[in-house]
């Protein structure tokens, strides 16, 4: 049995796949005979959990269970209910978890490598590393190539440049070769033949002669003005060279010098104004034909001379790269999953192992340790061609095979994912196809919107409508168009030419326009009472950063999910700059440290340091004293402190940097900073010296160990790129969408390896290895690689939009930062815009039931908003991380068991513990004050608002337990002092009296009073000063009385008191 399940977003593919698994058990298969392959660890865990959950329900509820009803619908009479067998399967699965054959596709491939390939290569103990960590090995590969004169010369010859002048381009080429090795494995390179008929000179002569003929018919002389600006010198010199005897070879060489300019897209060399006129229509058409013929023949010549040689050189270079890289890999015993897949294909599938002379299909049993009766693959649309080549031999008539996927959610083309594999899979494995037609994730309005938007969206993109489930609520979709790009210039000449009515309509539309969409998203979220299950999705991290900044300003709790190096965190970066200086004495790092937010020296101070650079070097070498130099005494003290660190014991250095640098004080309100400072500290305490730590960092930076720690509050807005949101669902979602033309700026030359497969993906139909420098040449020849790639990129961009819009369960906000102006009431506003987004106009109009996109500038809501109510966070991309009391880890031997030397340093360390404890109390005091700042009369609504605002501002640093203590302390005031919450009072919180004394600079020294109560009728004022600690100052209270008396006058009776909270 072979089956392909097409499952759109939210249609229950994991649920269905687990039912197929249970069906296999009930049909007599043992659990260890069923292999399930997924693409992520999360999906693997979810599949395991769902299967056990189904078994539990079947065992407990029997034939009355929903699971059995679903099984009956799928299998009809092909399975029989057997409670005893199911119970035994569950027992065995729980007892023998390792025998449950559910893997990620990477871990499955690793099993093949470990069992079959690694022993053959003499590898018995190896480490799997991430691609970021692998960069160090790629860099070493590059260095070794440079050190070998033969390889170095080959590199220079292939790249047509002096490598010593710039390492960026050659390194990127080497990295690209390694990262796309699978293409070199699949393509069997043979030296290409040459193009015939490359006589581009004769074709150009036809063009010039026809231009001269048109000029003659117009009674004009064809001079250089008949050529466009870029070709005027070319046209003049061509004519002169042509008149010389035996000049054809010189002419060819001259033309070839201009090849890049000539072969650029959509360029002609003649001035179109000169050829105008109805009498010259045929001549213009003929001229264009001759010119295209000339360009094609010139492109053939370029191909023969340059691209053929380049391709052969690149394949030769790739062989050298792989040889060096493989030696390093074997020596270091470190492999990425890509390395493992490449090796499995090379040795197992292509038959370089002696074992593969036997039946390759039997290897599955050897690796899994049991007979395999069924093979299931989840998320098949993300399978790469190489992965399919590895898996395909195991798909035969002896085994059941089920593939589940959704071509619309294929968004990993950049890492080899091939959507068309899933689309064509039923054809080349001769399987049945079943669609899952019901969406269980989203409510009615969302499902209806998606159906209207995506049906017939694009000719190269297929969509099948789905139904919402019977119990779905109404839900909500809201769409808003805006952004500065949509604003119409009211000062332009074009605007002044419009009618008065049209001008007024434009002005009204501009007033309604939301220009700053990221700020508006943050503003809308700030109005939410609850953030559980709420997310913002965007295409890029840059877009998310912009939204995060606004959320930070508004005090909205949020988590930005990204993979970023620990050293890039704002609190860690200056510390790392200092560590690098102490390690290698690179003064650039010292200056980075001094200029960071942590120290923040001025530009003038920086100039002084630069002017005394040699003296500073002498100071750190112990040869010179800086006291006689014009260096600010604070900076001098800092340099002396740095010099002390250079001679400090390693453990003392670690403690002093973290405790004395001021980093705790600067980032005291940021839980993320403290979490990552602890991470840095714990990593440093695992080693014996600074050099050891820095060497490990340089080797492993980019790996999970050295990535920034994400801190999440249980009720915070998740900010994710679309790629990171895949597989997740949210109660409420904002999708920030910026359609673009896809036309980037000028980029450095890149390696391009085009592959075109036959329909069954068993063989390559054609290929080409070249660089982006020749993209215009390739397009003029018989290759459609560029067009095919552009089409794939467009489809994948639509897939990203689909994934983004299909994550929401209850509320979907779509905020579109439009790329072009829309006139009021205009229909087909994007008709002449980029092919990358203009087709979305009809889809938006249909889905929102509007005639013109201009109607969406004020927004369109369909359905009713459903407020988040503590939604389940099990789908959240990260787990809750509690911030431990950092003081615990600053006790001697706290983490590593190492003893801190007794004496002055130990005493300093005790101060650190005390400082951290004081810092916690200080923050709790601030949080209590902030809560009461928002309380006037103690209403339930005020208390809800106070809780929300305090959680937003202090939740990430204090954590849930301490935040609850803050609430308890603040609300005890409301309970214990009802007389101060009476509505007789006019309440002023955080009141700043106008009066005040001048300080030494002439600036008014203001006071801020926690709470002032005013009763105008009774002429009574009460001043309350909240205290969370033990300190009291009657002098301060008297000062407050005097300031208020100055403002209120003698008619008021004024009382002041401390209130302990």
pLDDT tens by residue, 53-108: 999 999 999 999 999 999 999 998 888 999 999 999 999 988 888 788 998 999 99
Q: What is the pLDDT of residue 893?
A: 32
Burial 791-803 (b: 16+ CB within 10 A, else e): ebebbbbbbbbbb
Judged against a pLDDT cut of 90, whether residue 301 lies above it is answered with yes
Summarize pLDDT for 631-656 with one digit per residue, the tens. Answer: 888 888 888 899 888 888 888 888 88
Q: Is 7 annotated as a binding residue?
A: yes
Within 8 A by CB and 6+ apart from 993, the residues are: 1006, 1007, 1009, 1043, 1044, 1046, 1047
Residues paired with 862 in a beta bridge? 477
CB atoms within 10 A of CB 213: 15
* Structure tokens, 892: 């001697």
Judged against a pLDDT cut of 60, whether residue 270 lies above it is answered with yes
Average of per-residue pLDDT values in the chain: 85
Q: Highest mean pLDDT range out of 691-695, 714-718, 917-921?
A: 691-695
Q: Is 12 annotated as a binding residue?
A: yes
Judged against a pLDDT cut of 90, whether residue 179 lies above it is answered with yes
Q: What is the pLDDT of residue 870?
A: 59
Q: What is the pLDDT of residue 899?
A: 32
Q: What is the pLDDT of residue 646?
A: 85
Q: Is 13 annotated as a binding residue?
A: yes
Q: What is the pLDDT of residue 833?
A: 79
Burial of 1025 (0-12, 13-18, 19+ CB in 10 A): middle
Residue 964's pLDDT band (boundaries 50, 70, 90)? confident
122 Ramachandran zone, left/alpha/beta (phi>0; psi -120 to 50):
left
Judged against a pLDDT cut of 60, whether residue 889 lies above it is answered with no
**Mean pLDDT on 611-622:** 84
Distances (CA, A) of 334 to 134, 318, 327, 621, 698: 8, 20, 11, 39, 15
Q: Between residues 353 and 747, which one has the greater pLDDT? A: 353
Q: Is 996 annotated as a binding residue?
A: no
Instruction: Determine contact, residues 35/101, Cβ cutoff 8 Å.
Output: yes
Q: What is the pLDDT of residue 941?
A: 85
Report whether CATH 2.60.120.10 matches the domain 566-709. Answer: no
Q: What is the pLDDT of residue 468?
A: 93
Cα four-point dihedral sign 134, 139, 141, 144: negative
The alpha carbon of residue 258 and the mean position of all alpha carbons in its chain are separated, in whole angstroms, by: 41
Kind of pairing between the strands at 127-128 and 476-482 = unpaired
Summarize pLDDT for 101-152 with one digit per residue, the tens. Answer: 998 999 999 989 998 899 989 998 888 888 878 888 999 999 999 888 898 8
Q: Say which CATH architecture domain 2-120+338-440 belongs to.
A: 3-Layer(aba) Sandwich (3.40)
Within 8 A by CB and 6+ apart from 768, the residues are: 307, 311, 752, 753, 754, 778, 783, 785
Q: What is the pLDDT of residue 714?
A: 55
Judged against a pLDDT cut of 80, whether residue 745 lies above it is answered with no
Burial of 613 (0-12, 13-18, 19+ CB in 10 A): exposed
Residue 563's pLDDT band (boundaries 50, 70, 90)? low
**Mean pLDDT on 403-420:** 84
Q: Is 893 annotated as a binding residue?
A: no
Domain ranges of the chain: 2-120+338-440, 136-332, 476-561+715-740+753-785+795-811+818-863, 566-709, 983-1060
Q: Is 9 annotated as a binding residue?
A: yes
Q: What is the pLDDT of residue 422?
A: 92
Q: Between residues 599 and 305, which one has the greater pLDDT? A: 305
- Rounded Cα distance between 275 and 287, Å, is 10
- Rounded Cα distance between 364 and 560, Å, is 41
Summarize pLDDT for 925-938 with one digit per residue, the tens. Answer: 888 888 898 888 88
* Of 237-246, 426-435, 961-970, minimum mean pLDDT range: 237-246
| Percentage of residues of the chain with pLDDT beyond 90 | 43
* Of 410-419, 430-439, 826-835, minimum mean pLDDT range: 410-419
Q: Is 700 annotated as a binding residue?
A: no
Could you list the beta-strand ranges (E) of 818-897: 860-863
Q: Is 11 annotated as a binding residue?
A: yes
**Mean pLDDT on 1008-1019:** 87
Q: What is the pLDDT of residue 454?
A: 96
HSE, side-chain direction, 13 A CA sphere, residue 265: 7
* Of 497-511, 900-914, 1027-1041, minimum mean pLDDT range: 900-914
Q: What is the pLDDT of residue 916?
A: 52
The alpha carbon of residue 871 and the mean position of all alpha carbons in its chain are separated, in whole angstroms, by: 25
């Amino acid at each position: 049995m072979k089956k392909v399940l097409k499952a759109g977003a939210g249609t229950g593919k994991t649920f269905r796949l687990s039912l197929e698994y249970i069906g296999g058990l009930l049909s007599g298969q043992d659990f260890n005979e069923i292999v399930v392959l997924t693409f992520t660890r999360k999906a693997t865990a979810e599949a395991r959990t769902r299967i056990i959950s189904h078994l539990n329900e079947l065992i407990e509820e029997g034939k009355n269970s929903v699971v059995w009803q679903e099984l009956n619908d799928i299998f009809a009479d092909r399975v029989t209910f057997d409670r005893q067998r199911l119970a035994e399967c569950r027992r065995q699965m729980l007892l023998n978890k390792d025998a449950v054959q559910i893997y990620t596709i990477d871990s499955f491939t690793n099993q093949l490598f470990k069992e079959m390939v690694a022993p053959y290569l003499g590898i018995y103990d190896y480490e799997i590393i991430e691609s970021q960590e692998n960069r160090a090995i790629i860099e070493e590969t590059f260095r070794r190539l440079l050190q070998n004169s033969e390889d170095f010369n080959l590199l220079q010859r292939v790249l047509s440049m002096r490598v010593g002048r710039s390492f960026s381009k050659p390194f990127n080429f080497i990295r690209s070769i390694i990262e796309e090795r699978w293409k070199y494995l699949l393509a069997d390179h043979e030296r290409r033949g040459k193009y015939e008929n490359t006589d581009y000179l004769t074709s150009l002569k036809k063009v010039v002669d026809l231009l001269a003929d048109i000029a003659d018919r117009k009674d004009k002389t064809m001079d250089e003005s008949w050529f466009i600006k870029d070709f005027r010198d070319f046209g003049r010199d061509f004519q002169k060279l042509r008149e010389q005897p035996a000049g054809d070879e010189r002419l060819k060489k001259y033309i070839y010098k201009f090849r890049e300019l000539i072969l650029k897209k959509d360029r002609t060399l003649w001035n179109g104004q000169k050829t105008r006129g109805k009498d010259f229509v045929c001549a213009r058409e003929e001229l264009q034909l001759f010119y295209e013929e000339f360009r094609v023949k010139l492109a053939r010549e370029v191909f023969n001379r340059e691209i053929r040689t380049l391709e052969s050189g690149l394949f030769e270079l790739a062989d050298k790269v792989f040889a060096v890289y493989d030696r390093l890999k074997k020596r270091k015993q470190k492999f990425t999953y890509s390395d493992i897949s490449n090796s499995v294909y090379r040795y197992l599938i292509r038959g370089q192992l002696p074992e593969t002379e036997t039946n390759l299909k039997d290897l599955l049993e050897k690796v899994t340790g049991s007979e395999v009766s069924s093979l299931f693959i989840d998320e098949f649309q993300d399978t790469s061609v190489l992965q399919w080549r590895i898996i395909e031999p195991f798909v035969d008539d002896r085994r059941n095979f089920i593939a589940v996927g959704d071509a619309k959610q294929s968004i990993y083309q950049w890492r080899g994912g091939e959507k068309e594999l899933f689309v064509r899979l039923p054809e080349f494995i001769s399987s049945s196809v079943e669609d899952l037609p019901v969406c269980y994730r989203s409510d009615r309005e969302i499902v209806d919107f998606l159906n209207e938007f995506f049906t017939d969206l694009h000719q190269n993109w297929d969509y099948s409508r789905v139904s919402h489930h019977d119990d779905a609520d109404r839900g909500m979709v809201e769409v808003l168009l805006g952004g500065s790009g949509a604003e119409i210039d009211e000062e332009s000449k074009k605007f002044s030419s419009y009618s008065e009515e049209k001008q007024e309509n434009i002005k009204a539309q501009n007033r309604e326009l939301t220009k700053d969409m990221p700020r508006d998203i943050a503003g809308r979220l700030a109005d939410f009472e609850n953030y559980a299950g709420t997310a913002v999705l965007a295409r890029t991290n840059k877009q998310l950063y912009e939204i995060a900044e606004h959320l930070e300003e508004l005090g909205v709790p949020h988590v930005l999910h990204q993979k970023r190096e620990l050293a890039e965190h704002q609190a860690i970066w200056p510390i790392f700059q200092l560590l690098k200086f102490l390690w290698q004495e690179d003064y650039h790092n010292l200056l980075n440290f001094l200029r960071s937010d942590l120290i923040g020296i001025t530009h003038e101070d920086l100039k002084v340091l630069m002017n005394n650079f040699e003296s500073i070097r002498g100071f750190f070498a112990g040869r010179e004293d800086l006291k006689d130099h014009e260096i600010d005494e604070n900076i001098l003290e800092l340099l002396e402190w740095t010099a002390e660190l250079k001679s400090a014991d390693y453990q003392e250095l670690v403690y002093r940097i973290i405790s004395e640098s001021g980093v705790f004080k600067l980032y005291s309100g940021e839980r993320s900073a403290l979490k990552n400072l602890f991470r840095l500290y714990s990593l440093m305490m695992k080693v014996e010296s600074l050099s050891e730590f820095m060497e490990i960092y340089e080797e492993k930076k980019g790996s999970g160990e050295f990535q920034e720690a994400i801190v999440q509050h249980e009720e915070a807005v998740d900010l994710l790129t679309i790629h990171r949101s895949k597989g997740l669902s949210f109660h409420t979602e904002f999708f920030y969408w910026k359609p673009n033309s896809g036309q980037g700026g000028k980029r450095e030359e890149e390696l391009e390896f085009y592959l075109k497969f036959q329909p069954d993906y068993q063989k390559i139909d054609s290929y080409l290895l070249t660089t982006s420098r020749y993209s215009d040449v390739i397009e003029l020849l018989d290759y459609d690689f560029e067009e095919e790639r552009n089409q794939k990129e467009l489809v994948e961009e639509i897939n990203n939009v689909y994934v983004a819009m299909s994550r929401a369960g209850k509320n979907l906000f779509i905020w579109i930062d439009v790329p072009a102006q829309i006139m009021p009431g205009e229909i087909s506003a994007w008709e002449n815009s980029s092919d990358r987004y203009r087709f979305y106009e009809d889809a938006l109009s249909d889905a929102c039931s509007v005639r013109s996109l201009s109607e969406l500038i004020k927004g369109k809501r369909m359905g009713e908003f459903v407020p988040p109510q503590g939604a389940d966070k099990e789908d959240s991309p990260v787990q809750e991380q509690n911030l431990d009391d950092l003081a615990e880890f600053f006790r001697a031997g706290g983490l590593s068991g190492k003893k801190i030397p007794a004496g002055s340093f130990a005493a300093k360390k005790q101060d650190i513990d005390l400082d951290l404890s004081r810092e916690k109390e200080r923050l709790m005091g601030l949080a209590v004050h902030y809560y009461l700042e928002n309380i006037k009369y103690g209403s339930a609504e005020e208390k809800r608002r106070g809780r929300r605002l305090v959680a937003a501002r202090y939740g990430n640093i204090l954590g849930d337990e301490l935040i609850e203590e803050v609430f308890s302390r603040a609300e005890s005031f409301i309970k214990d002092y009802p007389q101060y919450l009476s509505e007789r009072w006019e309440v002023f919180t955080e009141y700043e009296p106008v009066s005040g004394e001048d300080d030494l600079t002439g600036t008014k020294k203001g006071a801020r009073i926690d709470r002032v109560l005013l009763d105008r009728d009774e002429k009574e004022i009460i001043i309350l000063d909240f205290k969370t600690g033990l300190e009291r100052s009657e002098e301060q209270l008297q000062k407050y009385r005097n300031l208020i008396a100055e403002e209120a006058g003698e008619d008021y009776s004024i009382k002041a008191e401390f209130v302990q909270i």
